[in-house]
Amino acid sequence: MKSKPTYQALNHKTDLELFQLIKERDKGALETVFNRYYESLCRFGTTYENDMDVIEEKVSDVFIHLWNAHERLDQIKKPKPYLFVVVKHKLMEPVSYQKLKHTLDRGLEDERSSSPCIEQEIIEQEQREMYVRRIQEVLDKIPKKSRQIFEMSRLDELKYKEISEILGVSIKTVENHMAIALKTIRNMVVKNKQF
């Protein structure tokens, strides 16, 4: 009887190896792929949908699909681009249900902010938020398509070829959008000396 790999051992496996283990019904392998790509897939989803609840649900559906379609996983030769393409298709499907509504519980936030021992945390949080706002201002200046390709390359660590396959554009188009994004960032940083 073959023993199941530990979480740490699974974390060092390639995507193809993990897909093979999912095919063999290894839940740990599915969890590893989920942990490896969930955040990137959700961020990628924001280019097709604004409602984060919908994005998270659709991305989760992709992993359910992965588990249920385990017999066909050996046909997938490039797991990472495959996941991005499936998320794209899921998010482009017409929504047949009412979008989920957000509710915020301000009571807990107010209670935490009134505590004197948390003052330093609040200051640090405000500094982090200011830094994030600055980065966001720079990213907002990048044209939408160029920004999507920049994030896929720099944040999701996809190769230009993978990006071109996912988005259905040429590698040259990916290169051109990256050049636009990098030039925009460089100009914003030099102009505003933001960092």
69-90 confidence digits (pLDDT tens): 878 877 788 888 888 888 888 8
CATH number at residue 127: 1.10.10.10
Domain shared by 121 and 77, yes or no: no
Q: What is the pLDDT of residue 141?
A: 84
1 within a domain of the structure (yes/no): no
Per-residue confidence (pLDDT) for residue 32, from 0 to 100: 92
Average pLDDT of span 64-68:
86
User: Domain containing 140: what range?
Assistant: 110-192
- Whether 195 shows a pLDDT value over 70: the answer reads no
Does pLDDT of 136 surpass 70?
yes
Q: Is residue 168 one of the residues assigned to a domain? A: yes
Residue 162 falls inside a structural domain: yes
Determine the pLDDT at residue 35: 92
| Backbone angles phi and psi of 145, in degrees to 5 | -65, -40
Q: Is the pLDDT of residue 4 over 90?
A: no
Q: Of 38, 58, 92, at which residue does a domain stop?
A: 92
For the domain that residue 39 is a member of, what is the CATH number? Answer: 1.10.1740
Q: What pLDDT, in 10s, does the model give residues 98-115?
A: 333 333 344 445 444 444
Are 80 and 129 part of one and the same domain?
no
3-class DSSP string for 84-143:
HHHHHHHHHCCCCCCCCCCCCCHHHHHHHHCCHHHHHHHHHHHHHHHHHHHHHHHHHHCC
Residues 63 and 118 in one domain: no
State whether 114 and 188 are in the same domain.
yes
pLDDT at residue 170 is higher than 90: yes
pTM tops 0.75, yes or no? no
**Do 116 and 176 belong to one domain?**
yes
User: For 5-11, what is the mean pLDDT?
Assistant: 71
Residue 97 lies in a domain: no
pLDDT score at 192: 62
Q: What pLDDT score was predicted for residue 94?
A: 56
| Of 92 and 120, more confident | 92
Is the confidence at residue 166, as pLDDT, over 70? yes
How far is Cα 83 from Cα 46, in angstroms, rounded to an integer?
15
Instruction: Say yes or no: 87 and 114 in one domain.
Output: no
**147 and 180 inside one domain:** yes
**Same domain? 34 vs 65:** yes
**Is 178 part of any domain?**
yes
In the chain, pLDDT over 70 holds for what percent of residues?
A: 75
List the structure tokens of 59.
Answer: 């991305």
Distance CA 71, CA 17 (A): 14
- For residue 5, the model assigns a pLDDT of 63
The domain tally of the chain equals 2
Handedness of CA 164, 37, 137, 182 (dihedral sign): negative
